[in-house]
């Protein structure tokens, strides 16, 4: 069974209680006991809570982070991100830097990226992804 790396949008849907995402997320937790999220996702969500000055949600999120696996950017992830950036540019495409780092983290760690942002991530070769919003996923 392959671990999943949750993209920022999927984690937001989970927190907001989107039924399909929560259902699949809870099935995933039954198998693995914690979510995997990128340090970039932590940055994006924390930035949002700090921007709107919601200390309560910020504190809840930080507790959530302590209970789950945060995938940090290391040398391998950064090198893979650089390769992705060059490949996209050579193909006449672009993608924002945070998404490139999230994708590189998934590839380097051999995770399946869970995202609703199919249009962006489908451009990256070698990236395995699935969408818990639109697809019925069988985790086993």
CA angle 126, 130, 135 (to 5 degrees): 150
Q: How many C-alpha atoms does 103 have within 13 Å on its Cβ side? A: 25
Question: What pLDDT sits at residue 126?
Answer: 95
Question: What pLDDT sits at residue 140?
Answer: 62
Tell whether the model's pLDDT for residue 49 goes beyond 70: yes
Whole-angstrom distance, CA of residue 23 vs CA of residue 34: 14
Model pTM score: 0.93
Over the chain, what is the mean pLDDT?
Answer: 95
What domains can be seen in the chain, in order of their start residue?
4-130 (3.40.50.1010)
């Amino acid at each position: 069974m392959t671990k999943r790396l949750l993209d920022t949008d999927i984690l937001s849907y989970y927190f907001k209680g989107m039924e399909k995402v929560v259902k699949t997320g809870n099935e995933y937790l039954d198998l693995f006991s914690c979510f995997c999220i990128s340090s970039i996702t932590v940055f994006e969500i924390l930035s949002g809570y700090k921007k709107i000055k919601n200390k309560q949600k910020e504190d809840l999120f930080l507790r959530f982070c302590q209970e789950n696996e945060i995938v940090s950017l290391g040398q391998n992830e950064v090198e893979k991100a650089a390769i992705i950036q060059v490949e996209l540019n050579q193909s006449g495409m672009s993608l924002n830097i945070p998404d490139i780092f999230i994708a590189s983290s998934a590839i380097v760690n051999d995770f399946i990226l869970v995202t609703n942002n199919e249009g962006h991530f489908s451009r990256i070769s070698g990236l395995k992804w699935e969408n818990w919003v639109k697809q019925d996923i069988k985790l086993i």
